[in-house]
Amino acid sequence: MANKMISEIPLPKSIANVFAARNISTAKDALSLTEFELMELLDVGLTEVRSALSQISEIVAPPYQTALSLMEQRFQNEHLGGHFPTGLKGLDAALCGGIPFGVLTELVGPAGIGKTQFCLKLSLLASLPTNYGGLDGRVIYIDVESKFSSRRLLEIGLRSFPEIFQMKEMAQEMAGRIFVLRPSSLSEFTQSLQQIKVSLLQNQVKMLVIDSMAALVSGEHEQGVRRQQTLSWHISFIKSLAEFSRIPVVVTNQVRSQSHDEASQYSFQEYLSCAAQSRDGIVETPTRYDSHLVAALGIHWAHAVTTRLVLEAKSGQRFIKVAKSPISPPLAFPFHITSSGISLLSDEGMELMGPEINSIHCQGHNEIINFRMESLV
Partner 1 sequence: MEIWRLPISASQRGKLISAGYTTLSSLSSISSSDLARESKVSESEALDILKFASHSHSGGWEMSSGNCSIFEGAQNAWDMLHEEESLVHITTSSADLDNILGGGIHCKEVTEIGGVPGIGKTQLGIQIAVNVQIPHGFGGLGGKAIYIDTEGSFMVERALQIAEACIEDMSEYNRFIRKDFQACEIRMQPKDILGNIFYFRICSYTEQIALINYLDKFISEHKDVKVVVVDSVTFHFRQDFDDMALRTRVLSGMALKLMKLAKKFSLAVVLLNQVTTKHTEGSFQLALALGDSWSHTCTNRIVLYWNGNERYAYIDKSPSLRSASAAYSVTRRGIRNSSSSCKRIKMM
Q: Does 45 bind partner 1 (CB under 8 A)?
A: yes
Whole-angstrom Cα distance, residue 51 to residue 297?
44
Of 103, 85, 105, the closest CA to residue 250 belongs to 105
> Is 268 one of the binding residues for partner 1 (CB under 8 A)?
yes
4 vs 372 by CB, closer to partner 1: 4
Pairing verdict, β 331-338 and 317-324: antiparallel
Residue 331 vs 337, nearer CB to partner 1: 331
* Binding positions for partner 1, 170-229, rule CB under 8 A: none
User: Closest separation between CB of residue 16 and partner 1, Å?
Assistant: 16
The interaxial angle of helices 35-42 and 46-60, nearest 10 deg, is 120
Interface with partner 1 (CB under 8 A), residue from 80, 243, 366, 372 = 243
Binding span for partner 1 by CB under 8 A among 44-52, 150-158, 205-213, 361-369: 44-52
55-74: which residues touch partner 1 (CB under 8 A)? 56-62, 64-71, 74
Nearest to 49 by CA among 19, 4, 26, 9: 19
Residue 14 touches partner 1, criterion: CB under 8 A: no
* 105 within 8 A of 306, measured Cβ to Cβ: yes
Contact assessment for residue 112 and residue 369, using Cβ atoms and an 8 Å cutoff: yes
Between 113 and 322, whose beta carbon lies closer to partner 1? 322
Q: Is 211 helix (H, G, I), strand (E, B) or coil?
A: strand
**From the CB of 260, what's the least distance to partner 1, in Å?**
10
Nearer to partner 1, 89 or 292 (CB): 89
Alpha carbon distance 48, 196 (integer Å): 44
306-365: contacts with partner 1 (CB under 8 A): 306, 308, 323-324, 326-327, 329, 331, 347-351, 353-358
| 3-state SS, residue 334 | strand
